[in-house]
Structure 1
Amino acid sequence: MTDAPFVAIEGPIGIGKTSLAKKLASHFDFHLLKEIVEENPFLGKFYDDIEEWSFQTEMFFLCNRFKQLEDIEKKYLNQQKPVIADYHISKNMIFARRTLPEEKLGKYQQIYHILTKDMPVPNMMIYLYGGLDTILERIRKRGRDIEQNIQPGYLAQLAEDYEQYMDQFESLHPDIPVIRINGDECNFVQHQNDLEWILAEVEQQLRKTAAL
């Protein structure tokens, strides 16, 4: 785990990770690390035919996230410069387990573990979650063309996968604080009071981490 503040935001597709990361980066003057999404040339095909394009899609994400984190570690974290990211690379396994057939999942896991074994670990996690209606509405509002064919059933399954993932993350990393934010009740984009509550929670955890 790095000594510099390294905050990762996680949650289902469309829940607001990037929007929150931008606001926190601006408020705390942290470097913003955004995951590459629309640049993935396989993503549109993936949403049309998950089984056919899952391996190519997941490998593109894995390799690009590995490169991003490698650069962030050298240029920022090793220089004691704080970072906030709108993803955690371990999310790759959530999607891989959901989309890859068994024979390809084994190969993917081997590559994943080789690439990530020395990656920097966040010292704070923010978990955004919400019901399917909230997720669908936010995806609709941001209007990415490649996301218009996502099946609601797939999103619902991912939301359940994220719940299990975060429970496991907290069990495996009891030393990393997790701030859980219910997107059904908290709209930090439209309501300043909601944003101020999140800022206060993050500030409190940053102070605790700095005091250790």
Structure 2
Amino acid sequence: MAEVPFIAIEGPIGIGKTSLAKKLSVHFDFHLLKEIVEENPFLGKFYDDIDEWSFQTEMFFLCNRFKQLEDIEKKYLNQNKAVIADYHISKNMIFAKRTLQPDKFEKYEQIYHILTKDMPVPNMMIYLHASLDTILKRIRLRGRDIEQNIKPSYLAQLAQDYEDYMNEFEVLHPEIPVIRINGDETDFVKQQDDLNMIIRQVENQLDNHKVTSKR
């Protein structure tokens, strides 16, 4: 039976997830789901003092992403309307494992599994990755004040966490195709050929998995 397309784009901070999601949503006429970031009232404090503000920051993200996915399921996926998101909710665990103290992480993990147990799961993943230099350059280019205090060491750790997670994801979920895009070699914002290459890869996966949608 054909599935309604639900594509999630993942990768480290500043890698271009939202930019790519916007372009693909326009091309395929899929609904765009954007994560809430700057609205998080704890995020600025978090980048200044991760240990002090990590639990509040991660709980805010988790609750908001849960609500977003709940709405997406009701209003789009259950209505056979395709969705492309600039995040996968499992990213919460990537960040939580990196930032939370063991006692806080144990509580957070319990809440995460309760909330996400029945959440819709993407049937395609696009993973953007790049070197630390490229990530830092893109963060500077987009110029969010809230991100200027992020330590390069934290970004480097996070990039490795994402690589480990995606390698594990492909083993655990062989039924979900993962398209890997090297951000050091690809500029889908400025280079139309690079964007077209990604579009072709998505089209091939949609065809291979017989994923259909009502436009």
Scaled by the length of structure 1, what TM-score is found?
0.98
Contact 2:30-2:83 within 8 A present in 1 as well: yes
Going from structure 1 to structure 2, the CA distance change for 1:211 and 1:102 (only over 3 Å counts) comes to closer
- Counterpart-to-counterpart distance in 2, 1:124 and 1:82: 12
Pair 1:132 & 2:132 matched: yes
Q: Residue deviations 1:18-59, cap 9 Å, x none?
A: 000000000000000000000000000000000000000000
How many Å apart are 1:208 and its aligned residue?
1.1
Pair 1:187 & 2:187 matched: yes
1:17 counterpart letter in structure 2? K
Q: Match for residue 20 of structure 2? A: 20
- Counterpart-to-counterpart distance in 1, 2:211 and 2:100: 42
RMSD: 1.1
1:58 counterpart letter in structure 2? E
**Pairing of 1:94-133 with structure 2 (within 5 A):** 94-133=94-133
How many Å apart are 1:3 and its aligned residue?
2.1
Q: Match for residue 199 of structure 1? A: 199
Contact 2:3-2:211 within 8 A present in 1 as well: no
Note the residue ranges of structure 2 that are not aligned, 5 or more in a row.
none
- Counterpart-to-counterpart distance in 2, 1:165 and 1:211: 25
Q: Residue deviations 1:179-205, cap 9 Å, x none?
A: 000000001111111001000000111
Q: Residue deviations 1:89-122, cap 9 Å, x none?
A: 0000000000000000000000000000100000
1:192 counterpart letter in structure 2? Q
The list of structure 1 runs, each at least 4 consecutive aligned residues, that deviate by more than 4 angstroms after superposition, is: none
Question: Helix, strand or coil: the match of 1:181?
Answer: strand
How many Å apart are 1:209 and its aligned residue?
1.5
- Counterpart-to-counterpart distance in 1, 2:74 and 2:118: 13
Pair 1:86 & 2:86 matched: yes
Aligned length: 211
Q: Match for residue 3 of structure 1? A: 3
Q: Match for residue 169 of structure 1? A: 169
- Counterpart-to-counterpart distance in 2, 1:3 and 1:194: 27
Q: Match for residue 155 of structure 1? A: 155
Going from structure 1 to structure 2, the CA distance change for 1:29 and 1:103 (only over 3 Å counts) comes to same
2:19 counterpart letter in structure 1? S
- Counterpart-to-counterpart distance in 1, 2:211 and 2:111: 37
Question: Helix, strand or coil: the match of 2:127?
Answer: strand
